[in-house]
């Protein structure tokens, strides 16, 4: 669907997908499916190809999320270091920071801690 849409798909979408499935496995299954749809009686110019799957896996590999999504850079221990008390606020801050990380708006622990500190 992303390939057919011909609109830019953000890197965060690929990272979020990697939280739910293993993109490399998804690629292999989708490629096998499309290549298996080419019966011998169908003219070759009408055969399915794997252009969309190749586009997908190139993007996945460039983002290094073939097997899984990136690990969160901000952890509960960082919040404790900042003086936060464990509680419901923890999850909210950690989830918000991870979403920003997936969108490449937080890329290191220092920036993530600053983000968390601003949420007091």
106 in the same domain as 54:
no
Q: Is the per-residue pLDDT at 120 higher than 80?
A: yes
91 located within any domain: yes
What's this model's pTM, rounded to 2 decimal places? 0.82
55 located within any domain: yes
Domain limits at 59?
2-63
80 in the same domain as 57:
no
Q: What are the tens digits of pLDDT across the range 48-98?
A: 788 889 999 999 999 999 999 999 999 999 999 999 999 999 999 999 999
Number of structural domains in the chain:
2
- Rg (Cα) of the chain, in Å, rounded? 20
pLDDT on residue 17: 96
CB-based contact 56:3 (threshold 8 Å): yes
What is the spatial distance between Cα 54 and Cα 103, in angstroms, rounded to a whole number? 23
94 in the same domain as 48:
no
Q: Is the per-residue pLDDT at 3 higher than 90?
A: no
11-25, 30-44, 71-85: range with lowest mean pLDDT: 30-44
Whole-number average pLDDT of the chain: 92
Question: Sorting pLDDT into bands at 50, 70 and 90, what band is 5?
Answer: low
Residue 107, classed as helix, strand or coil, is: coil
84 in the same domain as 33:
no
Higher pLDDT, 104 or 44: 104
CB-based contact 83:57 (threshold 8 Å): no
CA-based nearest residue to 59, from 118, 107, 2: 2
7 in the same domain as 59:
yes
107 in the same domain as 86:
yes
């Amino acid at each position: 669907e992303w390939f057919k849409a011909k609109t830019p798909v953000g890197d965060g979408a690929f990272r979020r997908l990697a939280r739910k499935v293993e993109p490399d496995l998804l690629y292999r299954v989708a490629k096998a499916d499309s290549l298996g749809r080419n019966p011998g009686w169908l003219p070759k110019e009408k055969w399915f190809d794997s252009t969309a799957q190749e586009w997908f896996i190139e993007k996945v590999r460039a983002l290094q999320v073939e097997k899984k999504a990136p690990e969160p850079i901000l952890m509960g221990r960082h919040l404790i270091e900042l003086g936060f008390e464990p509680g419901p606020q923890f999850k909210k801050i950690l989830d918000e920071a991870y979403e920003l990380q997936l969108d490449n708006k937080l890329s290191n622990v220092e920036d993530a801690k600053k983000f968390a500190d601003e949420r007091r």
